[in-house]
Amino acid sequence: MIEIKNIYKSFGDKEVLKDISFSCFQGKVNIIIGQSGSGKTVLTKCMVGLHKPDSGQILYEGKDFVSMELEDKKEIRKNLGMLFQASALFDSMTVEENIMFPLTMFTDMDRKAMLRRTNECLERVNLEGTNKLYPAETSGGMQKRIAIARAISVKPGYLFCDEPNSGLDPQTAIVIDNLISELTKEMNITTVVITHDMNSVMEIGDHIMFIYEGEKWWEGTKEAILRSDNQELNDFVYASNFMKTLREKF
Amino acid sequence: MLINRVFSRPEKWKIYWRSIIDEIDKIGVSSLGIVALMSVFMGAVIALQTATNIDTPLIPDYTVGFTARQSFILEFAPTMLVLILVGKVGSNIASEIGTMKVTEQIDALEIMGVNSASYLILPKIIGGVFIFPFLIAISMVLGIFGGWFVCIATGVVSSADYIYGIQYDFRPFHVVYAFIKTIVFAFAMITVSSYHGYYSKGSALEVGKSSTDAVVYSSILILILNYILTQLLLI
């Protein structure tokens, strides 16, 4: 479980996050939604330690990640998996080497065992036989799945996904969404997804937070989101004519 | 700050050794062709220019060999060649690390708990500082050979005079001086280029700018260091 308590973050005079508190539960897909520029990515970067919040706490199983020593942070980070918006695969390495990288770095497994684990991960994301390809030789959807395979190779306790569907067609997006949801349940991990894609929210969201201009505006379930009377949330959820029509009909 | 992180204890030496070997290949072995080509031709040109400018019998013919040797050992191999390699190796380092930065590959390393500065930069520094003296030694030999070859091919100076010239008043410390300069320049070039790549921001355009900055600042630093080291070691 991850608990975020009263997080503030500014860049110069611009206050990007204002008093955000939120809990991410184990075994659930926790989704952070909001418009572009609302502070979702900054919040995630604070959660994984790429940005330091100005104040507040980020608790991993009760331990404050913000104030802990670098060595302790490293231990937490070894238990994190992250799927980046642009996949962030190491383009000088093959698919196999990408997935093996965290295993080589942080485990004492021999090459045979690492290869076995790599193949297991590739099989799990339905990409068997792509071991020797380079990321540039694969499609956007495949790159996302390879990045997921890399993220889960060390069996992390926490999985972060930054806009996992960006740039993907609707069918591939659903494949990625379902994969994230299945892995969360199978591995009983705490998953945090940052998105502005309402399809993802309705497909896999267990626990949702809506950020508006750097502030937490709403928190609840996907069922509750459709019935909310929060104006800013409704403007976001029902931004498209299709969703507006759907709301009027039901 | 960055240099502290670069020289902090690596996560796993085994991985670093493999990276160091890769960097030796990328930085050094892949530069062998251009080093050899430039050295032979520059040696030939230096010998020809010296020979054609000596039109007084008061200056002996062996001066051609002497000049080629001194030029290559003192300045061309350790300074000019490194400056030329800044354009190839330095820009390559900055653009490689810069691309990793803007495509979030460095963030991915950090999130995994890897010290990205050390993992990416330390093998380049060790590889570069190790392999550059070999490149420079090869350059010295090939440059002097290029001068000899053009002398016997054109007949401007006899082989015996040239060989006497390259042995005349030889001071082994000049070779030591050249290697000290090479190691310092290699370190300066790789750290400056890595710094510019590591702190790239934004888009591909910024990576291009980082690459250009890496070449400009490395070159300026090398020129300043060249002056300081010459003053300290030779005067």
DSSP-assigned states of every residue in chain A: -EEEEEEEEEETTEEEEEEEEEEE-TTSEEEEEE-TTSSHHHHHHHHHTSS--SEEEEEETTEETTTS-HHHHHHHHTTEEEEBTTB---TTS-HHHHHHHHHHHH----HHHHHHHHHHHHHHTT-TT-TT--GGGS-HHHHHHHHHHHHHTT--SEEEEESTTTT--HHHHHHHHHHHHHHHHHHT-EEEEEE--HHHHHHH-SEEEEEETTEEEEEE-HHHHHH---HHHHHHHT-SHHHHHHHHH-
Token pair of B75 as six digits: 């300045």
Q: Which helix (H) or strand (E) holds B148?
A: helix B116-154
- The answer to whether A211 and A43 are in contact (CB under 8 A) is yes
Put simply, whether A5 touches B (Cβ < 8 Å) is no
Express each pLDDT in A55-101 by its tens digit: 999 999 989 999 988 888 888 888 899 998 888 999 989 999 999 99
Express each pLDDT in B21-62 by its tens digit: 999 999 989 999 999 999 999 999 999 999 998 878 888 989
Nearest to A106 among B104, B105, B113 (CB): B113
Express each pLDDT in A43-55 by its tens digit: 999 999 889 999 9
A211 phi, psi to nearest 5 deg: -105, 135
Across chain A, mean pLDDT equals 89
Q: Do A91 and B105 touch (CB under 8 A)?
A: yes
Put simply, whether A125 touches B (Cβ < 8 Å) is no
Predicted confidence band at B76 (pLDDT cuts at 50, 70, 90)? very high
Those residues with Cβ within 8 angstroms of residue A159's Cβ, 6 or more apart along the chain or in another chain? A80, A81, A82, A83, A151, A152, A180, A183, A184, A189, A190, A191, A192
Q: What is the mean pLDDT of residues A148-172?
A: 88
Token pair of A76 as six digits: 């937490």
Contacts of B100 in chain A (CB under 8 A): 90
Put simply, whether A74 touches B (Cβ < 8 Å) is yes
Contacts of A80 in chain B (CB under 8 A): 111-113
**How close does chain B come to A73, measured CA to CA in Å?**
8
% residues pLDDT > 90 (chain A): 44
Those residues with Cβ within 8 angstroms of residue B23's Cβ, 6 or more apart along the chain or in another chain? B123, B124, B126, B127, B128
Whether A244 has a pLDDT exceeding 80, the answer reads: no
- The answer to whether B102 and B204 are in contact (CB under 8 A) is yes
Interface residues of B toward A, Cβ cutoff 8 Å, are 11-12, 15, 100, 103-105, 107-108, 110-114
pLDDT in the model for residue B129: 96
Predicted confidence band at A166 (pLDDT cuts at 50, 70, 90)? confident
Q: What is the mean pLDDT of residues A208-219?
A: 91
pLDDT in the model for residue A240: 76
**How close does chain A come to B31, measured CA to CA in Å?**
19
**How close does chain B come to A101, measured CA to CA in Å?**
10
Longest alpha-carbon distance in chain B:
72
Q: Do B105 and A89 touch (CB under 8 A)?
A: yes
pLDDT in the model for residue A37: 86
Predicted confidence band at A8 (pLDDT cuts at 50, 70, 90)? very high
- C-beta atoms surrounding B126 within 10 Å: 17
pLDDT in the model for residue A250: 64
Express each pLDDT in B111-154 by its tens digit: 888 889 999 999 999 999 999 999 999 999 999 999 999 999 99
Lowest pLDDT segment from B55-64, B94-103, B221-230: B55-64
CA atoms of A214 and A40, how far apart (whole Å): 8
Put simply, whether A86 touches B (Cβ < 8 Å) is yes
Residue of B23, B104, B110, B118 to mutate for A, most A C-beta atoms under 10 A:
B104
Residues B147/B153/B155/B156 CA torsion (nearest 10 deg): -30
Contacts of A58 in chain B (CB under 8 A): none
Using the structure block, give the residue that is written with the tokens 């050794």.
B17
Taking CA atoms, B80 is separated from B147, B175, B189, in Å, by 17, 15, 13
User: Taking the model in full, what pTM does it have?
Assistant: 0.86
Express each pLDDT in B180-198 by its tens digit: 999 999 999 999 999 999 9
Using the structure block, give the residue that is written with the tokens 């050249």.
B178
Q: Do A105 and B15 touch (CB under 8 A)?
A: yes
The vertex-A198 CA angle with A41 and A8, nearest 5°, equals 25
End-to-end CA distance of chain B: 34
